[in-house]
A and B are shown apart, each in its own frame.
Chain A
Amino acid sequence: MPIHPAGVHAPDSALVTRAAGGDERALGELYDRFGGMAFSLACAIVGEHADAEEVVADAFAQVWRSAAGFDPGRGSVTAWIATIVRTRALDLVRARKRRARVLEDAAVVTDEGETLVIAPTLESADRGAELTEARALVQRSLAELPPPQRRVIELAYFGGLSQSEIAERLSEPLGTVKTRMRAGMEKLRQALRPLMEAGA
């Protein structure tokens, strides 16, 4: 089940190509598809909505400027945009030295594995259905990881911590953190394979 079946919508990568040629409507459509994901991710990392708005605006400006450099062979548009948003969000967090607060407040899944409340999204209705399905699988897969594995992945992805910093924070040996991170990512790869683009 690819997230974006060809024939139903213009492929994501085609939108990026059009944006690279200066087509503003393509940028608008990219925002319609990925703006909700981008803003949610930015909020999870930076905490405050006003900061998240800056992050997402900067990120889409970068998408617009660097669209010509997007290489579909190196990953999906989802992953590309998520990487840009996350990098910008972590830059902001580091710059403002609010790392500690963010880590306390923005934990995405609790250690007890509580399910998350899924709020309505701004994606257009048909796209929303696909994304909601994808989102549910990602959240379920993450929730089903052994909590220690999930924790190190969350600290790295949403907290921007290195393996050494995670080891220090959790008072665990570095080798243990490395093993958990690898094992957790491997399980996620298996669980999320239906969402990954064929051949990539």
Chain B
Amino acid sequence: MSDHMWLEQAAPYVLGALDEADRASFDAHLATCDLCAREVGELRQVSGLLALASPVVSPPRGLRERILADARDVRPIASHVPTAGASEARSTRAPLAPTQTGRVRSVLPWLAAAAAVILALVLGQRLGGERNARLAAERALATARATLDSTGATLAVRDSLIATLVAPDVQAVSVTGTGPSPSARYFLDRRRGRIVIAASSLPPAAPGRTYQVWGIETGKPPVSLGTFDTDASGRAIASLRVPAGLAIAVTAVTDEPAGGSPQPTTTPFLAATW
């Protein structure tokens, strides 16, 4: 696909109207293409302004107070204040952590469950060293190639995925569940805010369900990184954006209703510590 053709994806992308496979491909492409990133940046302003097309409705009087009261319930834990124009890499910590459950639903039980699962899991070996990382990348690329072939994606998609997988400062972790269950490899590029998950032996989610990937910063609620589904052969590769400022300590997957959930609703699996 030429860059010109990629640019055509920018408008539906900012409107959230790309189908899942196209969105994942374009996400991967965006990580490596300044031209498309600029186009998306500009069109995001257009889609952002569409909000003003909504018929004006005055918010209820108490809403401002409620928002400020909620804000008081979360305690700043990092005094780091980014300067104007700070890059994502410099603002590596979100400033606040919840001190009460309240509106942040069911966070502590889930974290406890995640910790238990992590302890119970046979964690795949933590891969270290350039050679091992390269071997892991090559294995993941085999998965990527097979998956992409089956969805008819283009060589350019592979190239941009490869760029993410073999970037010099990418961290890689392999995880395997107990028994003959699914396995996954995660590739985390903290600097560019991107994570690639390559899953295998994972049956496609049931109808109306999907798999959702979570990033957890120590002491904070899980943050959704996106959703994916596997093909009939049980494989998937997804390139997901990591929200700026999220210092991921644990990643995990849950089975969620289609479209994903604001917070996990089922027991996490394929948990990896970073």
Chain A interface residues toward B at CB < 8 A: 13-14, 17, 20-22, 24, 27-28, 31-32, 35-41, 43-44, 49, 52-53, 56-58, 60-61, 64-76, 78-80, 82-83, 85-86, 88, 90-91, 94-95, 108-109, 116-122, 131, 134-135, 138-139, 142, 153, 156-158, 160-164, 166, 178, 181-182, 185-186, 188-189, 192, 195-197, 200
Contact = CB atoms under 8 A, between A and B. Distances in A.
Determine chain A's interface SS by DSSP, over half rule.
helix
Interface in B62-100: 63-64, 66-68, 70-72, 74, 76, 78-88, 91, 93-96
Interface range on chain B (Cβ under 8 Å from partner):
35 or more
Contact of B58 (A31, A36, A71): A36
A121 B103 CA distance: 27
A181 B259 contact: no
Nearest to A92: B262
Given A20-B82, A166-B17, A53 B59 contact: yes
B8 to A, nearest CB: 6
A57 B70 contact: yes
24 contacts: A20-B82, A21-B81, A39-B59, A40-B57, A53-B59, A56-B59, A57-B103, A64-B71, A65-B74, A65-B95, A65-B96, A66-B94, A66-B245, A68-B80, A71-B86, A79-B49, A83-B44, A109-B53, A119-B58, A121-B58, A131-B52, A142-B53, A160-B16, A162-B18
Given A56-B63, A163-B18, A67 B41 contact: no
Q: Would you list the 4 A-B pairs with minimal beta carbon distance, nearest first?
A: A79-B48, A69-B244, A69-B245, A82-B51
B54 interface: yes
Contacts of A108: 53-55
A88 B79 CA distance: 28
Interface string B27-61: 00000000000000111111111111111111110
B96 to A, nearest CB: 5
Contacts of A76: 45, 48
B206 interface: no
Contacts of B83: 17
A75 B47 CA distance: 11
A121 to B, nearest CB: 6
Given A17-B81, A162-B18, A91 B260 contact: yes
